[in-house]
């Protein structure tokens, strides 16, 4: 319970070192951009940094009367009231600490941020105005620091981003921004140039598997989904869901049937459906590649002439994952992939 959030960050040594060093030297930048895939620890690191900045005991010596106690820690204590309140609560997805403010599309009821309609398109200027501009100029409520954490900053509308930029240009002392994104290339150059980038890498498979096991998922299943999750704990957790596991099996079956079908209709149907499932599609393609690889080795063992075509089709599935990663439309990726597989 009292372990500081930053200490819970796994396998992001470079990012963690950067942040801990900044805390140790009291040189925490006023605007960070945490960039990396979703589900690898950006959030945990952001709230960890915020926790350290608002902690009531950090840097306070707990030394004895004659100064013979431990040196003051530059990390959050993890146990004081501020530390506890800096941790986001599950129901609201944000902390109750008044100086740790989360900005996210659709997080607040429209009336809270001075709107009539929900934010379906983007993070609106209304939210930035109400939650950032109205407060950033003032001292923190509780004295130590004020931290704004922006989830998926690439979803900011241009007016919202421009309003935020003004604040980033003239930072107040003890006010910090932590912008989170999995798509740094989609951000305005002005945002990129005014923030200090901290990179977060995909998590190693064994780390994802052990984190899943810690959540109570059985080891065999944890390892299986960790392999498909592309280094994201979030994706892995979704993949471990039994419904998603059925849907993935069904995708693989229907894709293989579409490759062998006489007409193009099944192919178009599989591709059409892929449109709705972008987030999970990558893992489904990986499962398809896996299925083709085992078909290939099965055929090879049986001296079946199809071994080579299965191998080639498996490579096409892997290439489709690359195409998806370079932001091609999911439907087109699946359509092109299945068409190529049929041509073999």
Q: List interacting residues with Zn ion (CB under 5 A).
A: 55, 57, 77, 80, 83
Q: How far is the CB of 60 from Zn ion (least distance, A)?
A: 9
Q: How far is the CB of 5 from Zn ion (least distance, A)?
A: 11
- CA-wise closest residue to 102 among 82, 131, 137, 129: 131
Q: How far is the CB of 103 from Zn ion (least distance, A)?
A: 24
Alpha-helical regions (H) of 2-129: 13-24, 42-54, 81-85, 125-127
Q: Round the CA-based radius of gyration of the chain to a whole number and report it.
A: 24
- Cα gap 181→218, rounded to integer Å: 31
Query: Is 45 or 296 the residue whose CB approaches Zn ion more closely?
Result: 45
Q: How far is the CB of 96 from Zn ion (least distance, A)?
A: 15
Query: Is 33 or 75 the residue whose CB approaches Zn ion more closely?
Result: 75
Beta carbons within 10 angstroms of residue 200's beta carbon: 25
- CA-wise closest residue to 336 among 11, 326, 217: 326
CB-CB contact of 100 with 47 (8 Å): yes
Query: Is 9 or 156 the residue whose CB approaches Zn ion more closely?
Result: 9
CB-CB contact of 176 with 148 (8 Å): yes
Instruction: Count the helix, strand and coil residues of the chain and give each as a percent rounded to the nearest 5.
Output: 55, 10, 35
Q: How far is the CB of 7 from Zn ion (least distance, A)?
A: 13
Q: How far is the CB of 112 from Zn ion (least distance, A)?
A: 28
Query: Is 55 or 168 the residue whose CB approaches Zn ion more closely?
Result: 55
Query: Is 61 or 215 the residue whose CB approaches Zn ion more closely?
Result: 61
Query: Is 47 or 310 the residue whose CB approaches Zn ion more closely?
Result: 47
């Amino acid at each position: 319970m009292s372990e500081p959030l930053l200490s819970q960050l796994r396998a992001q040594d470079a990012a963690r070192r950067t942040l801990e060093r900044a805390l140790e030297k009291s040189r925490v930048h006023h605007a960070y951009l945490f960039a990396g895939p979703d589900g690898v620890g950006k959030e945990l690191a952001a709230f960890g940094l915020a926790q350290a900045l608002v902690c009531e005991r950090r840097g306070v010596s707990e030394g004895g009367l004659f100064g013979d106690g431990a040196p003051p820690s530059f990390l959050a204590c993890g146990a004081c009231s501020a530390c506890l309140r800096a941790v986001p609560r599950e129901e609201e997805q944000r902390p109750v600490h008044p100086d740790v403010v989360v900005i996210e599309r659709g997080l607040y009821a429209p009336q809270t941020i001075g709107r009539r309609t929900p934010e379906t398109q983007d993070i609106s200027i209304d939210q930035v105005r109400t939650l950032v501009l109205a407060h950033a100029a003032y001292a923190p409520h509780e004295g130590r620091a004020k931290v704004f954490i922006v989830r998926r900053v690439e979803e900011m509308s241009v007016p919202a981003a421009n309003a935020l930029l003004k604040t980033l240009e003239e930072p107040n002392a003890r006010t910090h921004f932590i912008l989170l994104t999995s798509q740094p290339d989609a951000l305005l150059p002005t945002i990129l140039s005014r923030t200090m980038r901290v990179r977060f890498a995909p998590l190693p498979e064994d780390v994802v598997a052990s984190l899943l096991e810690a959540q109570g998922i059985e080891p065999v299943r944890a390892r299986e989904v960790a392999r498909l999750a592309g280094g994201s704990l979030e994706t892995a957790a979704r993949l471990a869901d039994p419904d998603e596991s059925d849907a993935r099996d069904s995708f693989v079956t229907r894709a293989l049937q579409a490759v062998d079908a006489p007409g193009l209709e099944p192919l178009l149907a599989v591709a059409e459906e892929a449109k709705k499932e972008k987030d999970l599609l990558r893992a489904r393609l990986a499962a398809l590649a896996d299925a083709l690889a085992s078909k290939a080795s099965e055929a090879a063992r049986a001296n079946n002439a199809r071994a080579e075509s299965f191998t080639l089709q498996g490579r096409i599935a892997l290439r489709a994952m690359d195409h998806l990663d370079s932001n091609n439309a999911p439907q087109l990726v699946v359509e092109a992939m299945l068409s190529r597989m049929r041509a073999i």
